Amino acid sequence: MPHPIELYVPAITPFAADLSVDHARLVAHGKALIAAGAHGLAPFGTTSEANSLSVAERMAALEALVEGGIAPGVLIPGTGCCAAPDSITLSAHATRLGCKGVLMLPPFYYKGVSDDGIFAAFAQVIEAVGSTRLGVYLYHIPQMSGVAIPLAVIERLLLAYPGTIRGLKDSSGKWEYSRDVIVNFPEIATYSASEAMIPDNARTGGAGCISASANVNPAGIRRLIDALGTEHEPAALEQVCALRSLFEALPLIPAIKAAVAARTGDPEYARLRPPFVPLPEEHRAEVARAVALAAG
């Protein structure tokens, strides 16, 4: 059975002036994304600056999303940390809340670790959570984490935990990796990290995308998904690619937050935690152009 093609948004995390998580804006932004056509949210990933949040902050923010009225069944929060106890705490918490699944980085401080070690790290968390309701989406983003998820590890995890391993997000930017995962493991839902890959992802048997620029252009990406295989597909693809390409030369997370601030007219959304710094003034024009191109 083919996967439905869906858009999950790696929602930005708004911060208040004291750099605490701004729950009200987080919920408002999340609801706006879903109202604009996103199928769900994949919050607390890379674009969300989740690795700049403590475990307690991440749990409180996830609870705020659910209490704010976003159904847990459309949430795939990031839960993979360096330390297994933290990944276990977050994954168990998200599972208890009824989330669709969790997006799990491998432990990412130590580099050059073996396939056996990466498998053992995921297995340790899955065993400790110990719930048939846990759904794990593997998070492959080697250019940031420094630790890839090899195909051989996916195969072993699927053999050991067939009901638990439900998908993978490929943020490598390399279509070849997405393709290899989809072709070898068609039973899991594979999301590419760029909306430009949605047609290839869908035709190969993938599940859609989880893309940073969906914070700015959710309606445009949803339109592309709905237009797949119709005469409207080329124009919809052109729109999402034109917008996305404007971000390519910019510091991505500061630019996405600046764009959300510009779209909403609310400069509070642009605030970042260190080590990020505000988007340099010279890039404001590109952000304004991206916002002007956004659909809906």
Residues taking part in catalysis:
46, 109, 139, 169
Does the protein bind a copy of itself through residue 277 (CB under 8 A)? yes
The CA–CA distances, whole Å, from 50 to 56, 109, 199, 230, 231 equal: 11, 15, 29, 37, 39
Does the protein bind a copy of itself through residue 144 (CB under 8 A)? yes
What x/- string results for residues 232 through 271 when contact with a copy of itself is judged by CB under 8 A? ---------------------x------------------
Distance CA 139, CA 170 (A): 7
Q: Determine the length of the chain.
A: 296
Distance CA 275, CA 156 (A): 36
Distance CA 128, CA 123 (A): 8
**Minimum distance of a copy of itself from residue 111's CB (angstroms):** 6
Q: Positive or negative CA dihedral for 41, 21, 121, 72?
A: negative
Cis peptide before 275 (omega within 30 of 0): yes
Does the protein bind a copy of itself through residue 52 (CB under 8 A)? yes
Strand order across the 208-210 sheet? 40-41, 6-9, 208-210, 189-192, 165-170, 136-140, 102-104
Q: Which is nearer to a copy of itself, 142 or 186 (CB)?
A: 142
Does the protein bind a copy of itself through residue 152 (CB under 8 A)? no
**Minimum distance of a copy of itself from residue 159's CB (angstroms):** 18
**Minimum distance of a copy of itself from residue 64's CB (angstroms):** 17
Q: Which listed residue (145, 164, 172, 192) binds a copy of itself by CB under 8 A?
A: 145
Q: Which listed residue (69, 96, 98, 116) binds a copy of itself by CB under 8 A?
A: 116
**Minimum distance of a copy of itself from residue 210's CB (angstroms):** 18
Q: Which residues bind a copy of itself (CB under 8 A)?
A: 19, 46, 51-57, 82-86, 89, 106-111, 113-114, 116-118, 120-121, 123-124, 143-147, 253, 273-277
